[in-house]
Amino acid sequence: MRRGAPPPDAPPRVAARTLRVRPAQEHLVRRLGQALVLQWDALSDEMQDLLIDQAVTVDDPGGATAEEVESFVRTVTTMALKPKPQAEETPLVE
């Protein structure tokens, strides 16, 4: 077990921590965020509340209230777009 990690059977709780990522890694954080939002309705109410509280707790220049985060999640999940179809590959003609 990692040093400072909670026991495996401990319930999740808000961590007073903030991620620091390199600019080249920001796209990964965005992808994970989108994945989480797209699976939002599958999460328990308790987990949703915890994640909203965590989002408010992290240090970010923009800042956000719990109400803003919840409103955002609800709005974007109802407007989720289907991915664009991949362009069909055209065979090379000689």
| Cβ(76)–Cβ(40) below 8 Å | no
> Helix and strand tally (H, E) in the chain?
3, 0
Domain count, the chain: 1
Q: Is residue 10 part of a domain?
A: no
Domain span at 45: 25-78
pLDDT tens per residue across span 13-54:
998 888 899 999 999 999 999 999 999 999 999 999 999 999
Q: Is residue 69 part of a domain?
A: yes
Q: Is residue 5 part of a domain?
A: no
Q: Is residue 54 part of a domain?
A: yes
Q: Is residue 63 part of a domain?
A: yes
User: What is the pLDDT at residue 14?
Assistant: 92
DSSP annotation of 40 reads G
Task: Give this prediction's pTM.
Answer: 0.71
Helical ranges in the chain per DSSP H: 26-38, 45-57, 66-78
Q: Is residue 17 part of a domain?
A: no
Which residue, chain included where needed, has tokens 């220049």?
61
User: What is the pLDDT at residue 70?
Assistant: 93
Residue 70 in 3-state DSSP?
A: helix
Q: State what percent of residues in the chain have pLDDT above 90.
A: 51
Cα separation, 48 vs 70, whole angstroms: 9
